């Protein structure tokens, strides 16, 4: 049986403005998919004999990951929270060590959560071949059969055949220039390095211990001091901070003599840019992909996404146009690698558009910052059925709540009462309060904040259902 480990960390910016630091691409529904990239990764496991998966993600993404797992019925999955980014070698080491606590030397299937695979049967066939090699103590990586001389991927050169199931790895090659990439593709001896792996948990730990024993030691120490609430597993942050940051490629794959590669020709893409997303999208007769309220005239070979407003596109070619509530990107397809320059600018100006969307997800639901000024802010808040915000207070702001639909159960100081549709209530500055949805439909309300400071850090929590820090009593 395979133990899937889904790597859902990272906060890539190459698909900005849809992908943000606090809501990166692995949690997005790209194109016209009804599932997010994380959910699609889980869905492609159907048909394989698998245990309940583990998901590895950042602490700040934990509630997004948990909600997306719940949406597809994978509520028993463990969510391993990285205290801080330390690359793939330590993350996989922690998964391997935990797997060895739960089963006798299980096979780990390591899958990034942000890849596209369109040919699922081909993916399953490659996994079946890799499983045979892994059971024979090989550390298996999956090599993508190249479809073009790409310069954005690392390459793997195949060596001798191993039992008709794969190949020994002769060498790993860094991202090449175009001429080298053309030679690699013409030779048929090279595959793209996919970042997907399959191996015994013990084999990985043994190999990592040979080449990077300090990573194994730090991960063991971190896991020995772990805590858990709900499905969230929190390694000890101080021990993990001492861990070196290194990729599994550098730490193990390029050093081990037990590495094998299994070719995979499955319609794979790592969706590393807007142009890559255009390549795999379903396009119309003019080679355009459009989504949302879009009208196009004399437009060709373009990707147009309108999330919230009407977008008209006239007389253009090879453009990326992406509209969100708070940002618009217009770029030539040949220049999409420079999207990171926009993100760097936003960071340098201490703006928020690189960090999160206007709509923010929380474990109890979400809120949308509709309007704001120097002394006021208006939010549209959605509280899911049965969910409750923390018991909290604010030092610098008061809040007015107007219920639009559903029923709110409100704690306002020592008073508890219900507020229903078209009713409102007022929370003074400094008042301990909470908001709960006791009903079976979402609670929708408008919140008007007023005060001298409106930052999200003006929250003092006293009780919380979701493991967030609370004020300790003396």
One DSSP character per residue, 178-231 reads HHHHHHHHHHS-EEEEEEEEEEEHHHHHHHHHHH-HHHHHHHHHHHHT-EEETT
Give tens-digit pLDDT for 353-380: 999 888 888 889 999 999 999 999 999 9
Give tens-digit pLDDT for 174-196: 999 999 999 999 998 999 999 99
Cα–Cα dist 193/131, whole Å: 18
User: What is the domain partition of the chain in residue ranges?
Assistant: 2-269, 274-345, 359-463
Orientation of helix 201-211 relative to helix 88-102, angle to 10°: 140
Reported as a pLDDT band with limits 50, 70 and 90, residue 93 is: very high
Reported as a pLDDT band with limits 50, 70 and 90, residue 10 is: confident
Give tens-digit pLDDT for 445-468: 999 999 999 988 899 999 988 877
In sequence order, what are the beta bridge partners of 80? 56, 233
pLDDT of residue 473: 41
> What topology is assigned to 2-269 in CATH?
Spore Coat Polysaccharide Biosynthesis Protein SpsA; Chain A (3.90.550)
Asked if the model's pLDDT at residue 220 lies above 80, the reply is yes
Give tens-digit pLDDT for 21-36: 999 999 999 888 899 9
State the average pLDDT for the chain.
94
- DSSP letter at 141? E
- For domain 359-463, the CATH superfamily is Jelly Rolls (2.60.120.10)
Tell me what percent of the residues of the chain surpass a pLDDT of 90. 86
Instruction: Compute the average pLDDT of residues 404-411.
Output: 98
Reported as a pLDDT band with limits 50, 70 and 90, residue 471 is: low
3 state DSSP class of 414: coil
Give tens-digit pLDDT for 57-72: 998 898 899 989 989 9
pLDDT of residue 52: 93
Cα–Cα dist 43/30, whole Å: 15
**Dihedral sign of CA atoms 60, 62, 68, 71 in order:** negative
pLDDT of residue 75: 82
Instruction: Compute the average pLDDT of residues 238-249.
Output: 93
In sequence order, what are the beta bridge partners of 171? 157
Give tens-digit pLDDT for 197-212: 999 999 999 999 999 9
């Amino acid at each position: 049986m395979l133990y899937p480990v889904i790597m859902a960390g990272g906060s890539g910016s190459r698909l900005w403005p849809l992908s943000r630091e606090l809501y990166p691409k692995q949690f997005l529904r790209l194109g016209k998919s009804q599932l997010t990239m994380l959910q699609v990764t889980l869905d492609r496991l159907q048909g394989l004999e698998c245990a309940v998966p583990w998901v590895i993600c950042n602490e700040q993404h934990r509630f997004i990951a948990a909600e997306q797992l719940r949406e597809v019925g994978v509520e028993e999955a463990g969510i391993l929270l990285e205290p801080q980014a330390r690359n793939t070698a330590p993350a996989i080491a922690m998964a391997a060590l935990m797997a060895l606590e739960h089963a006798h030397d299980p096979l780990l299937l390591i899958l990034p959560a942000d890849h596209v695979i369109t040919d699922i049967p081909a993916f399953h066939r490659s996994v079946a071949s890799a499983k045979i090699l892994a059971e024979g103590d090989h550390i298996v990586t999956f090599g993508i059969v190249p479809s073009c001389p790409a310069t954005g991927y690392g390459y793997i050169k195949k060596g001798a055949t191993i039992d008709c199931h794969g190949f020994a790895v002769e060498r790993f090659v860094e991202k090449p220039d175009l001429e080298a990439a053309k030679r690699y593709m013409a030779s048929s001896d090279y595959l793209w390095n996919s970042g997907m792996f399959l191996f015994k948990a013990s084999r990985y730990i043994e190999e990592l211990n040979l080449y990077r024993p300090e990573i194994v030691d730090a991960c063991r120490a971190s896991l020995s001091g772990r805590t858990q609430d709900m499905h969230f597993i929190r390694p000890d942050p101080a021990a993990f901070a001492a861990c070196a940051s290194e990729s599994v490629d550098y730490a193990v794959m390029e050093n081990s003599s037990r590495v094998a590669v299994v070719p995979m020709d499955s319609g794979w893409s790592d969706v590393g840019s807007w142009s890559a997303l255009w390549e795999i999208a379903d396009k119309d007769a003019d080679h355009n992909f459009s989504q949302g309220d879009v009208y196009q005239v004399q437009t060709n070979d373009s990707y147009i996404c309108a999330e919230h407003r009407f977008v008209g596109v006239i007389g253009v070619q090879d453009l990326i146009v992406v509209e969100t509530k708070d940002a618009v990107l217009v770029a030539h397809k040949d220049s999409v690698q420079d999207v990171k320059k926009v993100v760097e600018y936003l960071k340098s100006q201490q703006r928020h558009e690189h960090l999160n969307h206007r709509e923010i997800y929380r474990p109890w639901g979400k809120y949308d910052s509709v309007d704001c000024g120097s002394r006021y802010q208006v939010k549209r808040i959605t509280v899911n059925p049965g969910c409750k915000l923390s018991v909290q207070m604010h030092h610098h702001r008061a809040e007015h709540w107007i219920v639009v639909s559903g029923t709110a159960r409100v704690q306002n100081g020592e008073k508890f009462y219900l507020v229903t549709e078209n009713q409102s209530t007022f929370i003074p500055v400094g008042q301990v309060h909470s908001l709960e949805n006791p009903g079976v439909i979402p609670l929708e309300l408008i919140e008007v904040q007023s005060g001298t400071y409106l930052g999200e850090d003006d929250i003092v929590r006293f009780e919380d259902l979701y493991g967030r820090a609370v004020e300790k009593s003396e």
